[in-house]
Amino acid sequence: MKRGRTALAWLQRGLILAGGLPALHMLYRVTLALRPGGPGLGKPVIENVAQGSGRWALYFLLLSLAITPVRRVFSLHWLARFRRTLGLLAFFYAGLHAATWLLDRGRHSALSLAQSILSDVAQRPYIALGAAAFFGLVPLAVTSTRAMIRRLGPAWQRLHRLVYGVSLLAVLHFVWRAEQDAWSAVLCGMIWLASMALRLVFWARDVQRAWSEDSDAT
Ligand code: HEM
């Protein structure tokens, strides 16, 4: 039992380390660009960080959403432990993604930051979906601590159902934006659909079981 818990704690640390690797790679690209004689923070580097962080935010969000169905299908109940880490990794990359976009907007000095933001959202409306997804992730991240779970009680579970809508917005943001690489956007959409469909199946089964237990009792 104790050995199992230690192994899980190591797996958790491994997940955090592995989850930080894409950010380290982005940092490496930025450092290379900023080194003396380097090309500086041009479009390719900004795009690399903006796109990489957006993708990793979505991948971690979809992975956190997949935990419940995978856990129930394969009876891997210990997987639940990794959901919060995956969600926080998604939030971290979403924050990096939004911050990169804001910094990039701030560089367009001909316009004020607010004007630059508004004109970009008008030209690329999918940004509004991404922003809505990001604002939805904030309360989920803020309430992810054990103390908040205890304090909110059953309301915590209701609040965290927000993740279904947030992940849908994030997938639509990606699908709308994806021009050249439509396949990975479609694949993310299919993963979202599959994990929602499995949830529905489990929910229907639980309701049916509760009904039959009720009728057995009466
Ligand atoms: C304030 C919030 C957000 C803003 C302003 C924003 C903005 C953008 C922009 C401008 C791009 C295009 C980047 C480029 O082509 O260089 C983009 C792409 C993308 N965003 Fe967001 N986004 C936001 C939130 C999110 C969130 C929460 C997620 C996922 C959880 C996400 C996932 C993606 C993905 C997967 C791409 C496509 C990357 C690629 O083409 O490889 N975004 N976003």
| Residue 97 Cα to ligand 1 middle (Å) | 6
pLDDT recorded at residue 216: 77
Residue 111 DSSP class? S
Q: What is the pLDDT of residue 109?
A: 62
Cβ atoms of 53 and 162 within 8 Å: the answer is no
CA 68–ligand 1 middle distance (angstroms): 25
Smallest Cα–Cα separation from 170: which of 160, 180, 179, 178? 178
Q: What is the model's pTM?
A: 0.93
Tens-digit pLDDT profile for the chain (218 aa)? Answer: 678 789 999 999 999 999 999 999 999 999 999 999 988 888 899 999 999 999 999 999 999 999 999 999 999 999 999 999 999 999 999 999 999 999 999 886 677 889 999 999 999 999 999 999 999 999 999 999 999 999 999 999 999 999 999 999 999 999 999 877 789 999 999 999 999 999 999 999 999 999 988 787 76
How far is 61 from 107, CA to CA, in rounded Å? 29
pLDDT at 24: 98
Distance 130 CA to ligand 1 centre (A): 6
DSSP designation for 178: -
Q: Which of 91, 89, 94 is nearest to 53 (CA)?
A: 94
Spell out the domain ranges in the chain. Answer: 49-217
Q: Which of 97, 103, 191 to mutate for ligand 1's pocket (most ligand atoms within 8 Å of CB)?
A: 97
**Tokens 């993310």 belong to residue:** 188
Measured CA to CA, the distance from residue 176 to residue 74 in angstroms comes to 33
